[in-house]
Structure formats: structure tokens, C-alpha cells
Amino acid sequence: MKNINGKKISIIMPAYNEEDRIIGSLKETVKTFDDFKANYEIIIVDDGSKDKTYEAAGNFARRINEKRIIVQRNRANYGKGRALRKGFKYATGDYIIFLDADMDLHPGQIDTFFDIMELTDSDIVIGSKRHPNSQLFYPWERRVMSAVYFFIVKMLFGLPINDTQTGLKLFKAHVLKEIFKKFISRKFAFDLELLVTAHLFGYKIAEAPVCIQSQRGYNRIGLGTVYKMCLDTIAIYMRYVRSRTKRLASKLKSKKRSRHRK
């Protein structure tokens, strides 16, 4: 993390029913970024948990007198996307990291993301399960769901990336600020629309290898969530087609005007 020259990092961590894991996750994240000697803040957004995730995170921050840990919550479970957007409102960093609270992805991997961002001059670096150097240790059901969803996304959008759903992502803060102005999705396909919008805006996206070590040993994504995610994906595709059509029409008008002037 030598290449960020002391700039501030905001780690946004959405959490839902993570009472048993949230303190361990926070301890590990604090230790990791302290070891990096980074200027950072951690923003926890409890997304309407039914357990005591919010209280546990708040008590931990007060107990260690850590002002760099900001704890917020939604009154209801609105979805990961809305939690991340809310967290971004409190972020003051030059770089933004999205990190899942369950620690399936250890935050220490982010150092490689910064290296890739510098080497490729990218605006966004995402963890990719399909990177040849990735190591995956999680239930087979998630592997099947991930493969099917990737196939659908590739067919519909043709994005120049091989994964959209991995829960570790790095952004330059100004990129998210611009993207969120034109952003709609808040729930199940948030990651997809975020990257589709970034690609339409012309931002460069790079991929990084990840090590995923499931902390549960079972698949927490139910059929209901899969169904809603498919509906959201179709809605995003319709918006994507409309947006591309408008952009193409705008370019054609521009060309006609330039020809007329000549």
C-alpha cells in the first residue's frame, strides 16, 4: 500500500445478522489496516438486522475508543446496495473499499488491489472468482449459482470482466460519486448495475485474484433471493439498453451537426 501516498481509505462494510461475527471482523480489519500503516476509517452499516449486530459493532467501537469506526443502520432490511450507498454518504476517503462483513474475503488481500490499480491505471479493481490465481473454498451450490449468473450477465451485457458479485472491491472515490448520480438499483443486483454504469461512463475496471474461505460452510442465498436477483437483472438490462440507445442517438446527432457545419 506504499503507492497511495498517505491518502485516506474508507472501508464500507454492510452487515445483516452478523452478531456472532461482526466483532471478529472488525478486529481483523482494524489489525490489517494498522499493519498497513494506512490512514483509514471503517463504516459499518447494519441493514436492518434482526439480531444485535448494530449494538455489538457500536459497543466494540466505544470499548476500544476507536473514532475511525462509524456505525450506522437502516431501520429495515433494504438490501446490500442501499447499505453501501448509505455508507458512502459518511465516507471521507480518497479510496473506497467494499468489504463483506462475514470475512469470507480477508481484507489483507486489498494490498494487491492497490498494486493492480496503479499498474493498470484503473479506476476500479474488483475481486474475481474467475481470475486464474483465485482460490475458492466455499459450498458447491454457490459455485453453480455463480457460474450460471455469470453466463447470463455475459450474454446480456458483454462486460469486459469475468465476475461482478465478489464482495471485495476498490474504487477511486470520485468514480462512485459520479456513478451514484445516475444509479437506481439498491437491492439484489446492485454490484452488477454499479459495474455496468461504470463501464458506460468509460471508467477502467481491472480484476484481481481473491482467496474466498467460507466462514459458514453452507449457502445462505435462498431461491427467493435468486428469483429477485433475476428480476433486478432484467430491469437493469432494460435500463442499459435505453441508455446505450440514447448515447448512440446523441453521437449520431453530433456527427450530423459537424457534417452540416463543414
> In which band, very low, low, confident or very high, does the pLDDT at 40 lie, cut at 50, 70 and 90?
very high
pLDDT at 219 over 60: no
CB 236 within 8 A of CB 185: yes
Calpha distance 127→207 (Å, rounded) = 6
pLDDT at 41 over 70: yes
Query: Which pLDDT does position 194 carry in this prediction?
Result: 92
Query: Which pLDDT does position 220 carry in this prediction?
Result: 60
> In which band, very low, low, confident or very high, does the pLDDT at 32 lie, cut at 50, 70 and 90?
very high
Query: Which pLDDT does position 233 carry in this prediction?
Result: 84
Calpha distance 130→246 (Å, rounded) = 32
Domain covering 2-257, topology: Spore Coat Polysaccharide Biosynthesis Protein SpsA; Chain A (3.90.550)
Distances (CA, A) of 8 to 27, 30, 96, 258: 19, 14, 9, 44
pLDDT at 262 over 70: no
Query: Which pLDDT does position 184 carry in this prediction?
Result: 64
Write 231-234 long-range contacts (CB < 8 A, 24+).
231/188, 232/185, 232/187, 232/188, 232/189, 232/192, 232/193, 233/149, 233/152, 233/153, 233/156, 233/189, 233/192
What residues does each domain of the chain span?
2-257
Residue whose C-alpha cell is 467501537: 61
Calpha distance 194→173 (Å, rounded) = 14
Flag the least confident range among 66-70, 111-115, 178-182. Answer: 178-182
> In which band, very low, low, confident or very high, does the pLDDT at 131 lie, cut at 50, 70 and 90?
very high
- Residue 132 has, within 13 A of its CA and on its CB side, a CA count of 0
% of the chain at pLDDT higher than 70: 87
pLDDT, the chain, mean = 88
Each residue's pLDDT tens digit, 100-110 = 999 999 999 99
CB 187 within 8 A of CB 118: no
Which of 85, 47, 218, 171 has the alpha carbon at shortest distance from 57? 47
Query: Which pLDDT does position 139 carry in this prediction?
Result: 74
Query: Which pLDDT does position 216 carry in this prediction?
Result: 64
Which of 201, 179, 210 has the alpha carbon at shortest distance from 110? 210
Which grid cell sits at 239?
435500463
Between 61 and 241, residue with greater pLDDT: 61
